[in-house]
């Protein structure tokens, strides 16, 4: 198995993509540390894991939370092999011209705090333990970092920042730590939430009617089967594993052929 004898931390793993990744990593032999900012989510998923795993509340935008998380991980396992970052907030795909200026100001701070600062702080806090074990970081960007209309301007800016951050961290942490990313496109039953700045914090992408979401996906994608969160797990697992001896500073674009669009034909 890809992750046999690996200790893997997955942030933002209380639901959606992060949970799917964590479950896949466990199936691949890893002992998994599952973290999320929402305690109620962690309570709901506790039965999916066991005493070999660790479930922790952690707000990745707070350095104190990450430091405490690190202490609890080392207390239980005494080492760490990989950090997978999966937290994120969406922006409702709203054009900036449709927002009030004050809402745009708030939206920028909120999304960059979670979508970018959270990864920077995580990288800083866990770099030393990963260096000791020649470990890996795997962060989540998006196809929005490669083409327009994958989100609004602020979400797109955060995902472009993560894509660049992956390259910079791979450079800074080489050769001891491999740093790579995954850029997913559509995710069935996505739990990605909207921002408080736009009063969308109670709305999720999964609230879109399933048939409408599937029809849109199939109209623009070359592959027609809508992937769920765990379908992306193999990409993260490989990049997090000791078996990856060939990649750092790279992002795998997992777009179901979305970006390979027809130009002259329909």
Q: Of 103, 242, 108, nearest to 177 (Cα)?
A: 242
> CB-side exposure of 261: number of CA atoms within 13 Å?
9
Catalytic residue, chosen from 119, 146, 155, 232, is 155
Q: Annotate the chain with three-state secondary structure.
A: CCCCCCEEEEECCCCHHHHHHHHHHHHCCCEEEEEECCHHHHHHHHHHCCCCCEEEECCCCCHHHHHHHHHHHHHHHCCCCEEEECCCCCCCCCCHHHCCHHHHHHHHHHHHHHHHHHHHHHHHHHHHHHHHCCCEEEEECCHHHCCCCCCCHHHHHHHHHHHHHHHHHHHHHCCCCEEEEEEECCCECCCCECCHHHCCCCCEHHHCCHHHHHHHHHHHCCCCCCCEHHHHHHHHHHHHCCCCCCCCCCEEEECCCCCCCCCCCC
Is 236 considered catalytic here?
no
For the annotated catalytic residues, the residue numbers are 155
């Amino acid at each position: 198995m890809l992750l046999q004898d690996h200790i893997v931390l997955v942030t933002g793993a209380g639901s959606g993509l992060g949970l799917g990744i964590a479950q896949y990593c466990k199936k691949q032999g890893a002992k998994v540390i599952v973290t999320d900012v929402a305690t109620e989510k962690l309570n709901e998923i506790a039965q999916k894991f066991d005493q070999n795993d660790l479930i922790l509340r952690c707000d990745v935008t707070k350095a104190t939370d990450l430091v405490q998380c690190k202490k609890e991980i080392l207390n239980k396992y005494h080492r760490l092999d990989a950090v997978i970052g999966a937290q994120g907030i969406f922006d409702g795909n709203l054009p900036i011209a449709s927002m009030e200026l004050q809402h745009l100001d708030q939206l920028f701070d909120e999304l960059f705090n979670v979508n970018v600062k959270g990864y920077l702080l995580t990288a800083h806090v866990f770099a030393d333990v990963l260096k000791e074990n020649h470990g890996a970081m795997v962060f989540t960007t998006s196809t929005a970092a490669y083409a327009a209309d994958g989100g609004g301007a602020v979400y797109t800016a955060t995902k472009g920042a993560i894509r660049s951050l992956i390259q910079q961290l791979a450079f800074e942490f080489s050769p001891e730590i491999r740093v790579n990313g995954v850029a997913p496109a559509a995710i069935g039953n996505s739990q990605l939430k909207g921002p408080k700045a736009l009063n969308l914090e109670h709305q999720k992408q999964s609230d879109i009617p399933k048939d409408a979401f599937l029809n849109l996906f199939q109209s623009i994608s070359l592959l027609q089967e809508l992937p769920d969160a765990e379908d992306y797990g193999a990409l993260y697992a490989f990049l997090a594993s000791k078996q990856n001896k060939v990649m750092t500073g790279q992002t795998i674009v997992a777009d179901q052929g979305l970006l390979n669009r027809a130009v002259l034909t329909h």
